[in-house]
Chain A
Amino acid sequence: MKRLAFLVWTLVALSTTGASAQCNSEALSNQCIPKLAAGFNFLKSYKIDGEGGSKDKVEYSYVFTKGTQYMINICAPNQPTDGIVVTLYDSNRNKVATSKVNGQYISAIAYPCNATGIYYIQYTFDGSSTYCGGSALGFKR
């Protein structure tokens, strides 16, 4: 009987923990939209859900065009970025930009594009406590 009660308690506890640990990446990506700098038009919002650490990266892609300036920002629940790093790669997987520099996590990248093509927007977790965040992409000419 004690074993049975323990089993039931465990089931209830696990379901409760799961609910509280859920990543509301949609809300965080929505929070990021008004944080795009003035003059930038919103294009996309991206959910960053590392599923509690089981995923080491989250990736999206977009065609950037020459002559357009793009901004990508990051929002996280606790600190400005909570160790979330955004790295931009070109279509040949050459690194174009990263938001971590000299151990510092920057919450926004401005990228004046000089070469049209498909770019990969990759989010990684560097010592993140929540593995959860959101991001927005904007553009201006």
Chain B
Amino acid sequence: MKKLSAVLIATALAACGSEKKTDEQAFMETLDTAQNAGPTISEAVIGDILQQIPSPLEIAVLLKESGKKYNASLLNSPDNLPKYNSNYQKALNLGIYGADLGYTNIYEQNQDGIKYISTIKSLADGLNIGQFFDIETIGRLATNSKNLDSLLLITTQNFNSINHYLQTQGRANLSVLLLTGGWIEAVHIMCSVAAQDPTNKVLQEKIGEQKVILENILLLLSFYKEKDQNMAALLQDMQELKNIFDRVNITYTYKESTFEVVNGVMVIKDNSTTTIDITPQDVTDIRSSIINIRNKIIS
């Protein structure tokens, strides 16, 4: 019994000891990361802001539902892939290609989608996050338009997993770039469509409300401006975009909502409103600024 007790205690102590060592190692690694390229604010705060950024898919759905035709010339060509060598370029363009893939998926353009899947996989591998991109399943789903729901689900899940992983690995800077790239591409597509339909008020308002998201992106980039020259330069470009968005006024009026329960679902009637004041000139200037920023990223 004495021997058994000694073995149990030794095992318990050894387990505690190894646990402590792991914590210390993790702490030291955190310090190293912070010294090299870390942000000036906690990763948890960054994670909270990152999760607010909407999916580019929402804009693709808006365009399709409003009857706009598919236009592959608006997207970043997969042929540009060899140009992206640094992690900065890879992460931003992974976001851009991700938005492009969402656009091709929503429009059920499977042949184009397959090219983007392959491009995305290459970039993700280059960033050591390729394991989260299930290319075989996605490729199989993309060959049949009946699988659209599954395709959208699995691609969204893959990108969510990548973002979560990057944040848990102290690489939230790449997550910031990925989401920024996705947003820039979605706004670029939307502005290009709006330019062909200058009287479309819904599209103009949709562009105007991007001001809310831009403010979050600027905040995220600002956390890295002291330690990452590329992100500081991007922040400066985005700041110029913000100067144009500052002309857009968003007025919010809160009014208590009402509800009813329908088939076990609580359906809310939102009585609050936002009015978005944006002129056609603002849209033109936003488009011009977005094209400049995007060209620097994809060239």
Contacts and interface: CB of A to CB of B under 8 A. Distances in A.
A141 B106 CA distance: 13
Interface string B255-277: 00101010011111111111010
A54 interface: no
B151 to A, nearest CB: 11
Contacts of A11: 12
Contact of A1 (B2, B52, B53, B65): B2
Task: Bin chain B's interface residue count.
Answer: 35 or more
Given A1-B5, A65-B209, A67-B202, A42 B156 contact: yes
A90 B272 contact: yes
A43 B170 CA distance: 24
A99 B267 CA distance: 10
B54 interface: yes
B270 to A, nearest CB: 4
A68 B56 CA distance: 13
A123 interface: no
B274 A116 contact: yes
Task: Bin chain A's interface residue count.
Answer: 35 or more
Nearest to A96: B257
Nearest to A9: B8
A41 B202 CA distance: 21
13 contacts: A43-B58, A60-B51, A63-B216, A66-B209, A67-B202, A91-B252, A94-B272, A106-B264, A111-B268, A114-B271, A116-B250, A117-B212, A118-B212
Interface of A: 1, 4-5, 8, 11, 33, 37, 41-45, 60-63, 65-68, 71, 88, 90-92, 94, 96-97, 99, 101, 104, 106-118, 139-141
Given A1-B2, A115-B252, 19 more contacts: A8-B9, A42-B152, A42-B157, A62-B54, A63-B213, A66-B205, A66-B209, A97-B259, A97-B268, A104-B261, A106-B266, A107-B264, A109-B265, A110-B266, A113-B270, A114-B272, A115-B272, A116-B276, A117-B212
